[in-house]
Amino acid sequence: MVGSWAFGSGGRRLLAALAAVSVALIVALVAASRADALIYWSGDMGIGRANLDGSGVDQRFLRLDDGADGIAVDAAHLYWTHGVFDSGAIGRASIDGSAVAEDFVTGLESPAGIAVYGGHLYWSSETAAGTIGRADLDGANVDPDFISGLDFVEGIAVDGGHIYWATTGSIGRANLDGSGVDESFIVGTSASSDVAVDSTHVYWSNSFGANAAIGRADLDGSGVDQSFIKTDPAFSPQAVAVDDAHVYATTPGGGSSPGVARANLDGTGLDETFIGGSGFPVSFGLAVDPTPTAPGGGGSGDACAKAKKRVKRARIAVGKARKKVRRADGRSEQRKAAKRLKKAKRKLVRAKKRKRKACARTAGSAARR
Protein backbone atom coordinates (compact mmCIF):
# COMPACT_ATOMS: atom_id res chain seq x y z
CA MET A 1 0.00 0.00 0.00
CA VAL A 2 1.41 3.38 -1.03
CA GLY A 3 2.78 5.34 1.91
CA SER A 4 2.26 2.55 4.44
CA TRP A 5 6.00 2.59 5.30
CA ALA A 6 5.50 5.91 7.15
CA PHE A 7 3.57 4.13 9.85
CA GLY A 8 6.10 1.40 10.52
CA SER A 9 8.34 1.36 13.60
CA GLY A 10 10.72 3.92 12.07
CA GLY A 11 7.81 6.20 11.16
CA ARG A 12 6.36 5.96 14.66
CA ARG A 13 9.73 6.92 16.16
CA LEU A 14 9.93 9.91 13.81
CA LEU A 15 6.41 11.06 14.72
CA ALA A 16 7.20 10.66 18.42
CA ALA A 17 10.37 12.72 18.02
CA LEU A 18 8.51 15.45 16.13
CA ALA A 19 5.82 15.51 18.82
CA ALA A 20 8.45 15.86 21.55
CA VAL A 21 10.10 18.75 19.68
CA SER A 22 6.69 20.46 19.26
CA VAL A 23 5.93 20.16 22.96
CA ALA A 24 9.38 21.50 23.85
CA LEU A 25 8.89 24.48 21.54
CA ILE A 26 5.48 25.26 23.05
CA VAL A 27 6.87 25.06 26.58
CA ALA A 28 9.80 27.27 25.59
CA LEU A 29 7.45 29.85 24.04
CA VAL A 30 5.30 29.97 27.16
CA ALA A 31 8.36 30.19 29.41
CA ALA A 32 9.82 33.00 27.30
CA SER A 33 6.50 34.83 27.34
CA ARG A 34 6.37 34.53 31.14
CA ALA A 35 9.96 35.76 31.42
CA ASP A 36 8.83 38.96 29.69
CA ALA A 37 5.93 39.45 32.10
CA LEU A 38 5.79 42.57 34.25
CA ILE A 39 4.42 43.83 37.53
CA TYR A 40 2.72 47.25 37.74
CA TRP A 41 1.90 49.59 40.62
CA SER A 42 -0.15 52.78 40.77
CA GLY A 43 0.13 55.95 42.83
CA ASP A 44 -0.21 59.73 42.92
CA MET A 45 2.19 60.25 40.03
CA GLY A 46 0.92 57.51 37.74
CA ILE A 47 1.94 53.92 37.04
CA GLY A 48 5.31 52.24 37.48
CA ARG A 49 6.46 48.82 36.38
CA ALA A 50 9.29 46.29 36.71
CA ASN A 51 10.21 42.81 35.55
CA LEU A 52 8.86 39.93 37.63
CA ASP A 53 12.32 39.32 39.06
CA GLY A 54 12.36 42.89 40.45
CA SER A 55 14.79 44.27 37.86
CA GLY A 56 14.19 47.05 35.35
CA VAL A 57 12.27 49.30 37.73
CA ASP A 58 10.59 52.20 35.90
CA GLN A 59 8.79 54.44 38.37
CA ARG A 60 7.59 56.76 35.61
CA PHE A 61 6.29 54.30 33.05
CA LEU A 62 3.02 56.27 32.79
CA ARG A 63 2.90 59.84 34.10
CA LEU A 64 -0.76 60.71 34.75
CA ASP A 65 -2.20 64.11 35.64
CA ASP A 66 -4.63 62.68 38.18
CA GLY A 67 -2.49 59.77 39.33
CA ALA A 68 -3.95 56.27 39.59
CA ASP A 69 -5.72 54.32 42.30
CA GLY A 70 -6.71 50.76 41.42
CA ILE A 71 -5.01 49.08 38.46
CA ALA A 72 -5.67 46.04 36.27
CA VAL A 73 -4.01 44.54 33.21
CA ASP A 74 -4.91 42.15 30.40
CA ALA A 75 -3.01 41.05 27.32
CA ALA A 76 -3.62 44.32 25.47
CA HIS A 77 -4.26 47.14 27.94
CA LEU A 78 -3.69 48.69 31.33
CA TYR A 79 -6.74 50.04 33.18
CA TRP A 80 -6.84 52.26 36.27
CA THR A 81 -9.26 54.21 38.43
CA HIS A 82 -8.86 57.84 39.50
CA GLY A 83 -10.87 60.75 40.87
CA VAL A 84 -13.34 61.13 43.74
CA PHE A 85 -17.04 61.81 44.26
CA ASP A 86 -18.92 62.01 40.95
CA SER A 87 -15.85 63.06 38.94
CA GLY A 88 -14.26 59.60 39.08
CA ALA A 89 -13.14 57.81 35.94
CA ILE A 90 -11.38 54.78 34.50
CA GLY A 91 -8.32 55.31 32.35
CA ARG A 92 -6.89 53.00 29.72
CA ALA A 93 -3.60 52.70 27.83
CA SER A 94 -2.03 50.18 25.52
CA ILE A 95 0.23 47.68 27.24
CA ASP A 96 3.31 49.51 25.88
CA GLY A 97 2.18 52.78 27.49
CA SER A 98 0.87 54.39 24.30
CA ALA A 99 -2.67 55.53 23.44
CA VAL A 100 -3.34 56.92 26.91
CA ALA A 101 -7.01 57.78 27.57
CA GLU A 102 -7.36 59.02 31.14
CA ASP A 103 -11.14 59.44 30.74
CA PHE A 104 -11.94 56.11 29.09
CA VAL A 105 -15.06 55.68 31.29
CA THR A 106 -16.34 58.80 33.11
CA GLY A 107 -19.03 59.91 35.56
CA LEU A 108 -18.16 57.35 38.23
CA GLU A 109 -18.46 57.92 41.97
CA SER A 110 -15.19 57.47 43.90
CA PRO A 111 -13.96 54.39 41.96
CA ALA A 112 -11.35 52.38 43.86
CA GLY A 113 -10.52 48.78 42.91
CA ILE A 114 -10.66 47.54 39.32
CA ALA A 115 -10.48 44.10 37.70
CA VAL A 116 -10.72 42.76 34.16
CA TYR A 117 -12.11 39.39 33.17
CA GLY A 118 -13.42 38.01 29.90
CA GLY A 119 -15.28 40.75 28.07
CA HIS A 120 -15.82 43.10 31.01
CA LEU A 121 -14.29 45.63 33.36
CA TYR A 122 -15.42 45.61 37.00
CA TRP A 123 -14.78 48.36 39.55
CA SER A 124 -15.73 49.22 43.12
CA SER A 125 -17.01 52.51 44.53
CA GLU A 126 -15.58 53.42 47.91
CA THR A 127 -18.69 55.10 49.31
CA ALA A 128 -21.12 54.44 52.17
CA ALA A 129 -23.61 53.18 49.59
CA GLY A 130 -20.97 50.99 48.00
CA THR A 131 -21.44 49.54 44.54
CA ILE A 132 -19.65 47.40 42.01
CA GLY A 133 -19.88 48.60 38.42
CA ARG A 134 -19.40 46.82 35.13
CA ALA A 135 -18.73 47.84 31.54
CA ASP A 136 -17.66 46.21 28.29
CA LEU A 137 -13.95 46.24 27.50
CA ASP A 138 -14.51 48.94 24.89
CA GLY A 139 -16.06 51.20 27.55
CA ALA A 140 -19.64 50.67 26.37
CA ASN A 141 -22.69 49.50 28.35
CA VAL A 142 -21.60 51.16 31.60
CA ASP A 143 -23.60 49.94 34.62
CA PRO A 144 -22.33 51.72 37.77
CA ASP A 145 -24.83 49.82 39.95
CA PHE A 146 -24.21 46.30 38.68
CA ILE A 147 -24.13 45.25 42.36
CA SER A 148 -25.43 47.78 44.89
CA GLY A 149 -26.15 48.15 48.61
CA LEU A 150 -22.63 47.29 49.73
CA ASP A 151 -20.50 49.11 52.30
CA PHE A 152 -17.26 50.95 51.43
CA VAL A 153 -15.97 48.45 48.88
CA GLU A 154 -12.25 48.75 48.19
CA GLY A 155 -10.28 46.08 46.31
CA ILE A 156 -11.96 43.77 43.80
CA ALA A 157 -11.01 40.55 41.98
CA VAL A 158 -12.76 38.33 39.44
CA ASP A 159 -12.32 34.73 38.32
CA GLY A 160 -14.27 32.37 36.07
CA GLY A 161 -17.17 32.02 38.50
CA HIS A 162 -17.29 34.91 40.95
CA ILE A 163 -16.62 38.53 41.85
CA TYR A 164 -14.78 39.11 45.15
CA TRP A 165 -14.38 42.36 47.06
CA ALA A 166 -12.67 43.63 50.20
CA THR A 167 -14.19 45.74 52.96
CA THR A 168 -12.80 46.69 56.35
CA GLY A 169 -13.79 43.47 58.13
CA SER A 170 -14.75 40.94 55.47
CA ILE A 171 -14.41 39.59 51.95
CA GLY A 172 -17.61 39.54 49.90
CA ARG A 173 -18.52 37.38 46.93
CA ALA A 174 -21.17 37.27 44.21
CA ASN A 175 -21.77 35.33 41.02
CA LEU A 176 -20.45 36.78 37.77
CA ASP A 177 -23.97 37.85 36.78
CA GLY A 178 -24.28 39.88 40.00
CA SER A 179 -26.58 37.41 41.77
CA GLY A 180 -25.91 35.48 44.97
CA VAL A 181 -24.40 38.41 46.88
CA ASP A 182 -22.69 37.29 50.11
CA GLU A 183 -21.13 40.21 51.97
CA SER A 184 -19.81 37.86 54.68
CA PHE A 185 -18.20 35.24 52.46
CA ILE A 186 -15.04 35.47 54.61
CA VAL A 187 -15.20 37.33 57.94
CA GLY A 188 -12.69 38.40 60.56
CA THR A 189 -10.36 40.32 58.27
CA SER A 190 -8.44 43.27 59.71
CA ALA A 191 -8.71 46.54 57.74
CA SER A 192 -8.54 44.57 54.49
CA SER A 193 -8.10 46.88 51.52
CA ASP A 194 -7.61 44.46 48.66
CA VAL A 195 -8.30 40.94 47.42
CA ALA A 196 -6.76 38.68 44.76
CA VAL A 197 -7.68 35.26 43.40
CA ASP A 198 -5.98 32.43 41.52
CA SER A 199 -7.13 28.96 40.46
CA THR A 200 -7.12 27.57 44.01
CA HIS A 201 -7.26 30.36 46.60
CA VAL A 202 -8.49 33.80 47.60
CA TYR A 203 -5.93 36.21 49.11
CA TRP A 204 -6.47 39.50 50.96
CA SER A 205 -4.53 42.13 52.87
CA ASN A 206 -4.87 42.50 56.65
CA SER A 207 -3.45 45.97 57.15
CA PHE A 208 -4.03 46.76 60.80
CA GLY A 209 -0.94 47.03 63.03
CA ALA A 210 -0.12 43.82 64.89
CA ASN A 211 -2.49 41.87 62.61
CA ALA A 212 -0.52 42.85 59.50
CA ALA A 213 -0.56 39.85 57.17
CA ILE A 214 -1.79 38.45 53.89
CA GLY A 215 -4.73 36.13 54.48
CA ARG A 216 -5.74 33.14 52.40
CA ALA A 217 -8.70 30.78 52.01
CA ASP A 218 -9.90 28.10 49.60
CA LEU A 219 -12.14 29.24 46.75
CA ASP A 220 -15.23 27.98 48.59
CA GLY A 221 -14.38 30.14 51.63
CA SER A 222 -13.09 27.28 53.78
CA GLY A 223 -9.60 26.90 55.22
CA VAL A 224 -9.36 30.54 56.29
CA ASP A 225 -5.88 31.58 57.46
CA GLN A 226 -5.81 35.25 58.46
CA SER A 227 -2.00 35.12 58.95
CA PHE A 228 -1.01 33.04 55.93
CA ILE A 229 1.92 35.40 55.27
CA LYS A 230 2.76 37.32 58.44
CA THR A 231 4.45 40.67 57.84
CA ASP A 232 6.19 43.25 59.98
CA PRO A 233 3.57 45.80 61.18
CA ALA A 234 5.77 48.50 59.63
CA PHE A 235 5.20 46.84 56.24
CA SER A 236 1.43 46.42 56.53
CA PRO A 237 0.26 45.03 53.16
CA GLN A 238 -2.17 47.13 51.15
CA ALA A 239 -2.78 46.10 47.53
CA VAL A 240 -2.28 42.41 46.65
CA ALA A 241 -1.78 40.48 43.42
CA VAL A 242 -0.97 36.89 42.54
CA ASP A 243 0.44 34.97 39.58
CA ASP A 244 1.35 31.33 39.04
CA ALA A 245 4.45 31.51 41.27
CA HIS A 246 4.17 34.36 43.79
CA VAL A 247 1.97 36.56 45.95
CA TYR A 248 2.76 40.30 45.83
CA ALA A 249 1.72 43.20 48.06
CA THR A 250 2.37 46.92 48.21
CA THR A 251 3.69 48.20 51.54
CA PRO A 252 3.48 51.77 52.88
CA GLY A 253 6.92 51.30 54.39
CA GLY A 254 6.36 52.51 57.94
CA GLY A 255 9.58 54.19 58.97
CA SER A 256 11.37 53.15 55.79
CA SER A 257 10.66 53.53 52.08
CA PRO A 258 7.47 52.10 50.55
CA GLY A 259 7.72 49.27 48.05
CA VAL A 260 6.43 45.92 46.82
CA ALA A 261 6.81 42.73 48.86
CA ARG A 262 6.86 39.21 47.40
CA ALA A 263 6.47 35.66 48.73
CA ASN A 264 6.15 32.20 47.24
CA LEU A 265 2.67 30.79 46.67
CA ASP A 266 3.07 28.52 49.69
CA GLY A 267 3.75 31.55 51.90
CA THR A 268 7.49 31.01 52.26
CA GLY A 269 10.35 33.23 51.15
CA LEU A 270 8.81 36.59 52.09
CA ASP A 271 10.89 39.53 50.83
CA GLU A 272 9.38 42.73 52.20
CA THR A 273 11.79 44.90 50.18
CA PHE A 274 11.50 43.02 46.86
CA ILE A 275 11.02 46.30 44.96
CA GLY A 276 11.56 49.65 46.64
CA GLY A 277 14.25 51.96 47.88
CA SER A 278 14.75 55.67 48.22
CA GLY A 279 12.17 57.71 46.35
CA PHE A 280 9.79 54.81 45.72
CA PRO A 281 6.21 56.18 45.78
CA VAL A 282 3.43 55.05 48.08
CA SER A 283 1.42 52.70 45.85
CA PHE A 284 -2.33 52.19 45.89
CA GLY A 285 -2.78 49.43 43.32
CA LEU A 286 -0.93 46.38 42.04
CA ALA A 287 -1.26 44.16 38.97
CA VAL A 288 0.69 41.35 37.30
CA ASP A 289 0.67 40.42 33.62
CA PRO A 290 -1.68 37.49 32.92
CA THR A 291 -0.13 34.02 32.78
CA PRO A 292 0.02 32.87 29.13
CA THR A 293 -1.61 29.68 27.91
CA ALA A 294 0.24 27.30 25.62
CA PRO A 295 -0.94 27.63 21.99
CA GLY A 296 -3.03 24.90 20.43
CA GLY A 297 -5.24 24.09 23.39
CA GLY A 298 -4.60 22.70 26.81
CA GLY A 299 -5.77 25.94 28.42
CA SER A 300 -8.21 26.54 31.22
CA GLY A 301 -11.21 25.96 28.96
CA ASP A 302 -10.00 22.46 28.02
CA ALA A 303 -9.13 21.65 31.63
CA CYS A 304 -12.53 22.85 32.78
CA ALA A 305 -14.35 20.73 30.20
CA LYS A 306 -12.34 17.65 31.16
CA ALA A 307 -12.96 18.27 34.85
CA LYS A 308 -16.72 18.53 34.23
CA LYS A 309 -16.65 15.18 32.45
CA ARG A 310 -14.84 13.64 35.42
CA VAL A 311 -17.52 14.99 37.76
CA LYS A 312 -20.21 13.52 35.52
CA ARG A 313 -18.52 10.11 35.56
CA ALA A 314 -18.08 10.31 39.34
CA ARG A 315 -21.80 11.09 39.78
CA ILE A 316 -22.72 8.10 37.63
CA ALA A 317 -20.43 5.91 39.76
CA VAL A 318 -22.16 7.15 42.95
CA GLY A 319 -25.56 6.36 41.45
CA LYS A 320 -24.50 2.83 40.55
CA ALA A 321 -23.01 2.30 44.02
CA ARG A 322 -26.30 3.42 45.62
CA LYS A 323 -28.23 0.89 43.56
CA LYS A 324 -25.88 -1.86 44.69
CA VAL A 325 -26.44 -0.89 48.33
CA ARG A 326 -30.21 -1.19 47.85
CA ARG A 327 -29.86 -4.55 46.11
CA ALA A 328 -27.28 -6.01 48.49
CA ASP A 329 -28.46 -9.23 50.14
CA GLY A 330 -27.18 -9.98 53.63
CA ARG A 331 -25.22 -7.92 56.12
CA SER A 332 -21.81 -8.77 54.67
CA GLU A 333 -22.80 -7.73 51.15
CA GLN A 334 -24.43 -4.56 52.47
CA ARG A 335 -21.24 -3.58 54.29
CA LYS A 336 -19.17 -4.11 51.16
CA ALA A 337 -21.63 -2.13 49.05
CA ALA A 338 -21.73 0.69 51.62
CA LYS A 339 -17.93 0.83 51.60
CA ARG A 340 -17.89 1.10 47.81
CA LEU A 341 -20.52 3.87 47.98
CA LYS A 342 -18.43 5.81 50.50
CA LYS A 343 -15.39 5.50 48.24
CA ALA A 344 -17.39 6.68 45.21
CA LYS A 345 -18.64 9.70 47.17
CA ARG A 346 -15.09 10.65 48.14
CA LYS A 347 -14.06 10.48 44.49
CA LEU A 348 -16.99 12.73 43.58
CA VAL A 349 -15.95 15.30 46.21
CA ARG A 350 -12.39 15.30 44.84
CA ALA A 351 -13.64 15.62 41.27
CA LYS A 352 -15.80 18.60 42.23
CA LYS A 353 -12.85 20.31 43.90
CA ARG A 354 -10.68 19.78 40.83
CA LYS A 355 -13.48 21.11 38.65
CA ARG A 356 -13.76 24.29 40.73
CA LYS A 357 -10.02 24.86 40.46
CA ALA A 358 -9.87 24.12 36.72
CA CYS A 359 -12.88 26.29 35.87
CA ALA A 360 -11.69 29.21 38.02
CA ARG A 361 -8.51 29.83 36.03
CA THR A 362 -8.63 33.30 34.50
CA ALA A 363 -7.66 34.36 31.01
CA GLY A 364 -6.38 37.64 32.47
CA SER A 365 -5.11 38.71 35.80
CA ALA A 366 -7.51 40.51 38.08
CA ALA A 367 -5.63 43.10 39.90
CA ARG A 368 -6.89 45.95 41.86
CA ARG A 369 -6.39 48.38 44.65
Q: What CATH number did the domain enclosing 152 receive?
A: 2.120.10.30
Domain total for the chain?
2
Per-residue DSSP letter, 54: S
- pLDDT of amino acid 316: 84
Same domain, 186 and 53: yes
Residue type, 309: K
Local confidence band at 276 (pLDDT 50, 70, 90 cut-offs): confident
Q: From 189, 148, 182, 135, select the one nearest 162 (Cα to Cα).
A: 182
Has residue 353 been placed in a domain?
Answer: no
Q: Is the dihedral of CA 99, 103, 106, 111 positive or negative?
A: positive
Has residue 101 been placed in a domain?
Answer: yes
Same domain, 15 and 93: no
Does the pLDDT of residue 8 top 80, yes or no?
no
Residue 221 · residue 173 · CB < 8 Å: yes
Has residue 359 been placed in a domain?
Answer: no
Same domain, 159 and 184: yes
Has residue 325 been placed in a domain?
Answer: no
Highest mean pLDDT among 236-240, 329-333, 360-364: 236-240
Same domain, 119 and 178: yes
Q: Which domain holds residue 15?
A: 10-35
What does each C-alpha distance from 359 to 82, 223, 233, 306, 327 come to in angstroms? Answer: 32, 20, 36, 10, 37
Distance CA 238, CA 251 (A): 6
pTM over 0.95: no
Same domain, 119 and 24: no
Mean pLDDT of the chain: 82
3-state percent breakdown (helix, strand, coil) of the chain, nearest 5: 25, 40, 35
Has residue 334 been placed in a domain?
Answer: no
Distance CA 323, CA 162 (A): 36
Sequence-separated (6 or more) residues with CB below 8 Å from residue 183: 150, 151, 167, 170, 172
What digits encode the pLDDT tens for the residues 110-126?
Answer: 999 999 998 999 999 98
What mean pLDDT comes out for the span 43-53? 91
Same domain, 20 and 49: no
Residue type, 227: S
Residue 248 · residue 241 · CB < 8 Å: yes
Local confidence band at 139 (pLDDT 50, 70, 90 cut-offs): very high
What digits encode the pLDDT tens for the residues 68-111?
Answer: 999 999 999 999 999 876 789 999 999 999 999 999 999 999 99
